[in-house]
């Protein structure tokens, strides 16, 4: 039987450290599914594992793309499953680690299948958005798929402010003549592995302290200079993320540096809360406090294997 030991949890909780320890224990390789760490131009602000950490076990999908490439969760699913199948040819174990819930789900469950959309539709929607703004996309989705619009509004309202996601919803509706929601929750792809899902968590105050400390460390390591180098490309989709967006506003003269730093900490704390909410829905996950002795986690994995063999 092939196993995918999957480590989930909020940012700054210790997933990287645990993944390396487990990779060494089970003598296997690591697939990263942190969507912020795919890009080679972003290192400090995305908390890419250090050279020492990367040397601790073979890693895949870290800094393997450019911010100038259009890379979707569907692209990641195809590439990661191919790599996973390749690794499973010679090893019963692979580690999956990362804080991007959508990307974890794409590997564990498969992704909903959508038909190809004509590029002319994509351009039309993009042009309309550039002229009319996010309100146009919101109104279009509300009209073309009112059920899905209400679902987002209730469960994940910040998505309504995300132009990339909203353009995708609208282009599918227009390009197929069907509601976006009609393509969701179809039969998922079968997977040739058994997941063993480990969640890491901590008291909220501890999580928030760890996040604040991590941001301070990033600044000491040169986050400001990294963001300044990326500033000319600030409109790229890959850079619409916490840690860079706030500093871009500082460079634009909208905020002071002190305010920008506090905003990074605040927005990262909010991000971690959303991560935890998403991951807590994961079926069959076993949750551990982040300070749990590694041996206890390893024993749980071995016990799972014994009971499923």
Residues 6+ apart with CB under 8 A from 24: 56, 57
Binding site, by residue number, is: 9-16
Binding positions for ATP = 9-16
Cα 13 to Cα 223: distance, rounded to the nearest angstrom:
20
C-alpha 39 chain-centroid distance: 12
How many CB atoms within 10 Å of residue 145?
21
CB 207 within 8 A of CB 15: no
How far, in Å, CA of 200 to CA of 208, rounded? 14
Hey, what are 158's tokens? 């910040």
Under 8 Å between Cβ of 200 and 8: yes
d(CA 239, CA 45): 10
If residue 120 lies in a helix (H) or strand (E), which one and from where to where?
helix 119-132
Q: Which residue has the tokens 């929601």?
A: 181
Say how far apart CA 272 and CA 275 lie, in whole Å: 5
Residue 107 and residue 84 in contact, taking contact as beta carbons nearer than 8 Å: yes
Known binding-site positions for substrate: 11-16
3-state secondary structure of 92: coil
If DSSP codes are grouped into helix, strand and coil, which group holds residue 115? coil
């Amino acid at each position: 039987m092939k196993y995918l030991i999957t480590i989930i949890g909020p940012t700054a909780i210790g997933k990287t450290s645990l993944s390396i320890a487990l990779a060494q224990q089970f003598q296997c390789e690591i697939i990263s599914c942190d969507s912020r760490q795919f890009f080679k131009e972003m290192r400090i602000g995305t908390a890419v594992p250090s050279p020492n950490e990367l040397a601790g076990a073979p890693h895949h999908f870290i800094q393997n793309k450019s911010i100038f490439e259009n890379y979707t969760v569907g692209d990641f699913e195809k590439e990661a499953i191919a790599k996973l199948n390749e690794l499973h040819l010679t090893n019963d174990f692979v580690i999956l680690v990362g804080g991007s819930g959508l990307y974890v789900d794409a590997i564990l469950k498969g992704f909903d299948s959508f038909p190809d959309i004509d590029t002319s539709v994509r351009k039309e929607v993009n042009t309309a958005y550039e002229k009319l703004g996010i309100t146009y996309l919101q109104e279009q989705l509300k009209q073309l798929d009112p059920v899905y619009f209400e679902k987002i509004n209730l469960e994940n309202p910040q998505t309504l402010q995300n132009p990339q996601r909203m353009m995708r919803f609208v282009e599918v509706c227009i390009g197929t003549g069907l509601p976006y929601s009609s393509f969701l929750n179809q039969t998922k792809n079968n997977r040739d592995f058994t997941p063993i899902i480990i969640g890491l968590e901590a008291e909220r105050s501890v999580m928030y302290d760890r996040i604040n400390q991590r941001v301070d460390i990033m600044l000491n390591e040169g986050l400001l200079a990294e963001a300044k180098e990326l500033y000319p490309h600030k409109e790229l989709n890959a850079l619409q993320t916490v840690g860079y967006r706030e500093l871009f506003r500082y460079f634009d003269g909208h905020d002071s540096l002190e305010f920008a730093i506090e905003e990074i900490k605040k927005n990262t704390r909010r991000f971690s809360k959303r991560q935890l909410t998403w991951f807590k829905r994961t079926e069959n996950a076993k949750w551990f406090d982040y300070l749990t002795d590694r041996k206890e986690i390893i024993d749980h994995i071995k016990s799972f294997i014994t009971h499923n063999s």
